[in-house]
Chain A
Amino acid sequence: MGKTVLTGKHFWYGDIAIAEGAIAAGCQFFGAYPITPASEIAEHISKRFPQIGGIFVQFEDELAAMAAILGASWAGVKSMTATSGPGLSLMMENLGLGIMMEVPTVVVDIQRGGPSTGLPTLTAQGDVMQARWGSHGHYEIIALSPDSPQEAFDLTIRCFNLAEKYRVPVILLASETVGHSAGKVVVPPEDEIELIDRKKPTVPPEEYLPYKPDEDLIPPMASAGEGYAICTTGLTHDEKGYPDTGPEAQETLVRRLSDKIRIHLEEIVEVEEENMEDAKIAVVSYGQVSRPAKQAVRMAREEGIKAGSIKLITVWPFAENIIRKWAKQVEVFIVPELNYGQIYLQVKREAAGDSETVSLPRMGGRLITPQEIYQEIKVSGK
């Protein structure tokens, strides 16, 4: 058998770092469908999995890839797929099933320009709201956004841990710039990588209710073939997993599916703050835009402008408490992003009444520069 965790220092593309992050997290099933700029993840996994005993399948479409990773997860392993915007659109169908059936799995979106076929080879952050609300119905989602190959590796592992802990599909919201840029990636020794596995039933099969939650609102999960006679459905269901299409069952289930995320916001939401102690202007960014954003803040500090940076590592659920807290101190939030203002609206909503929010949108295709953000800091600071 080949080595599972490639401990050491590497020079990897973000896409490769994601694939290796998945392997380090214990992923054993990958459902693939080729798409630029995410194909390198599938290509790398197709090479590595036969060495380590994982199952790699290139499916007929993204609908099948997404359905298969849910099935694989129900069979008891960690599973994953990777795609870009057009593929994510197709995966929304079974992402919803994953939410309803409460299936741990990871979906990687290497964002490219949209709508539609858009800019296949160039970067964007246009899928932020699709990641949030792309499937029908009301639900909460977890999405993390890396800014570099190293963070892509680290956050892929965290995606698996969050998926297993909360029994949800988790989205790694990366982008072409991260997937296709190379950088140093340090892979820690295997025993230093913290991994979380889903809760298993502690009662015998005759007492097991597949959708009876514990106090943390998360039900323990049995796997296929373990004798629990799992009953699960995409229909609204009761604690037995039996369809119950009445309003009371809907109220109970949909509230719990959202609340199991909402009551754990502090554990899930992660941000990185820099120069915020006395900041009057804060740049709120995520993904690869965080790098020019931090650079712009440093440039402003050199000019004596009280600027700070808030980088959202967790894009969803939104860091609402953190924005509200800083809104008491900050006069202006600037939100640079590679879309026409998606996270901008979130920040504006939380900051309303306390501070101004300025959108610095670019439609994608190229990365926003530190100078462009710096200019906005100077203008907003006057």
Chain B
Amino acid sequence: MSHEIMREEEPQELHPMDRWLRSERMPHMWCAGCGIGPTLYAWARALDSVGIRKDKVVYVSGIGCCGRGSGYLDVDGFHTTHGRAIPFAVGIKLVKPELCVNVISGDGDLFSIGGNHFIHACRRNVDLLVICTNNFIYGMTGGQLAATTPLGDFSTTTPYGNVERPFNTPHLAAASGAVYVARWTSIHTRMLERSIAEALKMKGFRYIEVLSPCPVNYGRRNKLREVDDIAKWFLQSSVIRNGADTSEVQIERGKPLILGNFIKREKKLSYYEQLKKLEDRVRKASEAKK
């Protein structure tokens, strides 16, 4: 009861970012120490800094902890099926190219069950900003092995340690044709915000990986149990190397975490622009016939 009394006495002050939130849905469901909140904070600040109107922002998410984010932000939010956030977003973007369409989802959603959609949307250069909160684990379901779990790490389905090599997701994005590729952590909020803002100003398929602490379901089994253990790991092991060769940014425990804005390719037509160019060509050919 005491906290309720405290609340009544508190001044009703709004945080500057509150206008992006569905405040009536607070408190959110994420655990203490989780990196999803700071990532969304950086995203909302980037949207503000670029000056994108709220009613032009679309947030599509898949399934998992991060999937819930689309229901907390006061924008058009679509919480879809597991792995299918990208193709769902492709449908929205191609019909309404004037909207700022964002896919923010987890590593399991985007790179395991949704891996195929990721590489194909990259290949087509669909005009989307895809942000992956990579926490190295399936958090929502209780801490099972992910396609991003570092070698040797423990999960509820690798009780003897992981023997699978994880995806190097920036390299995958780069090889598949993304025009913008970056990696930050949810601790590096200012750099992350600037990176998101830079990506928001571009067209085409843009990808940002955000390493994100999950103390409860990843850290607990990997000697990173305390709320700030993973944050400390990120801060102490990270090396910022803008423009790094993405083949050299694989994440391995005990080695430096390479962060930075890795790739920026300009002047590549987006998928929608290609379709419209094709339409023009077809129309001109048909008019010439007449």
Q: Which residues of A contact B (CB under 8 A)?
A: 1-2, 28-29, 31, 50-51, 53, 55, 57, 59-61, 63-65, 67-77, 79, 93-94, 96-97, 223-235, 241-243
Cβ of B120 and Cβ of A50 under 8 Å apart?
Answer: no
Question: Would you mind naming 28 contact pairs between A and B with Cβ atoms under 8 Å apart?
Answer: A2-B286, A29-B95, A50-B278, A55-B95, A60-B117, A60-B120, A61-B116, A64-B86, A68-B87, A70-B88, A71-B60, A71-B91, A72-B91, A72-B94, A75-B91, A75-B96, A76-B96, A79-B91, A94-B80, A224-B76, A224-B99, A228-B76, A229-B54, A229-B55, A229-B76, A230-B76, A233-B79, A242-B25
Cβ of A231 and Cβ of B95 under 8 Å apart?
Answer: no
Classify the interface of chain B: helix, strand, loop or mixed: helix
Determine the residue in chain A with the shortest Cβ distance to B84. A67
Q: How far is the CB of B99 from chain A (nearest CB, A)?
A: 5
Q: Is B265 an interface residue (CB 8 A)?
A: no
Complex: A31 Cα to B90 Cα, angstroms: 10
Cβ of B89 and Cβ of A71 under 8 Å apart?
Answer: yes
Determine the residue in chain A with the shortest Cβ distance to B25. A242
Complex: A233 Cα to B98 Cα, angstroms: 23
| B91 contact from A50, A67, A223, Cβ within 8 A | A67
Determine the residue in chain A with the shortest Cβ distance to B53. A227
| B71 contact from A71, A76, A242, Cβ within 8 A | A242
Q: How far is the CB of A165 from chain B (nearest CB, A)?
A: 21
Q: How far is the CB of A79 from chain B (nearest CB, A)?
A: 7
Q: Residues of B contacting A243 with CB < 8 Å? A: 68, 71, 79
Q: Residues of B contacting A235 with CB < 8 Å? A: 79
A71-B60, A234-B79 known; A29 vs B99 contact (CB < 8 Å):
no
Q: Residues of A contacting B74 with CB < 8 Å? A: 229
Cβ of B91 and Cβ of A225 under 8 Å apart?
Answer: no
Hey, what's the 0/1 contact readout for B58-93 against A, CB within 8 Å counting as 1?
Answer: 101000000010110011111111011011111111
Cβ of B92 and Cβ of A97 under 8 Å apart?
Answer: no
Q: Is B165 an interface residue (CB 8 A)?
A: no
Cβ of B84 and Cβ of A63 under 8 Å apart?
Answer: yes
Cβ of B286 and Cβ of A29 under 8 Å apart?
Answer: no
Q: Is B279 an interface residue (CB 8 A)?
A: yes
| B92 contact from A64, A75, A94, Cβ within 8 A | A75
Which 3 pairs of residues, A with B, have the shortest CB-CB distance? A71-B91, A75-B95, A64-B87
Cβ of B87 and Cβ of A51 under 8 Å apart?
Answer: no
Inter-chain residue pair count (beta carbon < 8 A): 139
| B79 contact from A29, A226, A232, Cβ within 8 A | A232
| A94 contact from B75, B81, B286, Cβ within 8 A | B81
| B75 contact from A1, A73, A229, Cβ within 8 A | A229
Complex: A269 Cα to B220 Cα, angstroms: 57
Q: Is B190 an interface residue (CB 8 A)?
A: no
Q: How far is the CB of A73 from chain B (nearest CB, A)?
A: 8
Cβ of A72 and Cβ of B95 under 8 Å apart?
Answer: yes
A51-B286, A55-B275, A93-B81 known; A70 vs B71 contact (CB < 8 Å):
no
Determine the residue in chain B with the shortest Cβ distance to A51. B282
Cβ of A71 and Cβ of B81 under 8 Å apart?
Answer: no
Q: How far is the CB of B105 from chain A (nearest CB, A)?
A: 13
Q: Residues of B contacting A93 with CB < 8 Å? A: 81, 84
The range of chain B's interface size is 35 or more
4 A-B pairs besides A2-B286, A65-B87 with CB distance below 8 A are: A29-B91, A50-B283, A73-B91, A74-B78
Q: Which residues of B contact A (CB under 8 A)?
A: 22, 25, 54-56, 58, 60, 68, 70-71, 74-81, 83-84, 86-96, 98-99, 116-117, 120, 275, 278-279, 282-283, 286
Q: Residues of B contacting A94 with CB < 8 Å? A: 80-81, 84
Q: How far is the CB of B212 from chain A (nearest CB, A)?
A: 21
Complex: A55 Cα to B282 Cα, angstroms: 14
Determine the residue in chain A with the shortest Cβ distance to B275. A55
| A68 contact from B81, B91, B283, Cβ within 8 A | B91
Which residue of B54, B81, B90, B95 has the most chain A CB atoms within 10 A of its CB atom? B95
Q: Residues of B contacting A57 with CB < 8 Å? A: 90, 94
Complex: A28 Cα to B81 Cα, angstroms: 23
Cβ of A71 and Cβ of B286 under 8 Å apart?
Answer: no
Determine the residue in chain A with the shortest Cβ distance to B116. A60
Q: How far is the CB of B136 from chain A (nearest CB, A)?
A: 25
Cβ of A225 and Cβ of B76 under 8 Å apart?
Answer: yes
| A67 contact from B87, B120, B279, Cβ within 8 A | B87
Cβ of A28 and Cβ of B84 under 8 Å apart?
Answer: no
A51-B283, A234-B79 known; A225 vs B58 contact (CB < 8 Å):
yes
A75-B96, A93-B84 known; A64 vs B120 contact (CB < 8 Å):
yes
Complex: A60 Cα to B90 Cα, angstroms: 12
Complex: A74 Cα to B87 Cα, angstroms: 13
A225-B56, A231-B71 known; A31 vs B79 contact (CB < 8 Å):
no
Q: Residues of B contacting A69 with CB < 8 Å? A: 91
Q: Residues of A contacting B71 with CB < 8 Å? A: 231, 233, 241-243
Cβ of B282 and Cβ of A71 under 8 Å apart?
Answer: no
| A63 contact from B60, B87, B283, Cβ within 8 A | B87
A55-B275, A225-B99 known; A234 vs B81 contact (CB < 8 Å):
yes
Cβ of B79 and Cβ of A68 under 8 Å apart?
Answer: no
Cβ of B98 and Cβ of A225 under 8 Å apart?
Answer: yes
Q: Residues of B contacting A225 with CB < 8 Å? A: 55-56, 58, 76, 96, 98-99
Complex: A324 Cα to B194 Cα, angstroms: 68
A60-B117, A76-B96, A242-B25 known; A234 vs B80 contact (CB < 8 Å):
yes
Q: Residues of B contacting A50 with CB < 8 Å? A: 275, 278-279, 282-283
Q: How far is the CB of A378 from chain B (nearest CB, A)?
A: 51
Complex: A65 Cα to B94 Cα, angstroms: 13
Q: Residues of A contacting B68 with CB < 8 Å? A: 243
Q: Residues of B contacting A60 with CB < 8 Å? A: 116-117, 120
Q: Residues of A contacting B56 with CB < 8 Å? A: 225
Complex: A96 Cα to B80 Cα, angstroms: 11
Complex: A217 Cα to B248 Cα, angstroms: 56
Complex: A46 Cα to B6 Cα, angstroms: 63
Determine the residue in chain A with the shortest Cβ distance to B81. A97
Cβ of B78 and Cβ of A71 under 8 Å apart?
Answer: yes
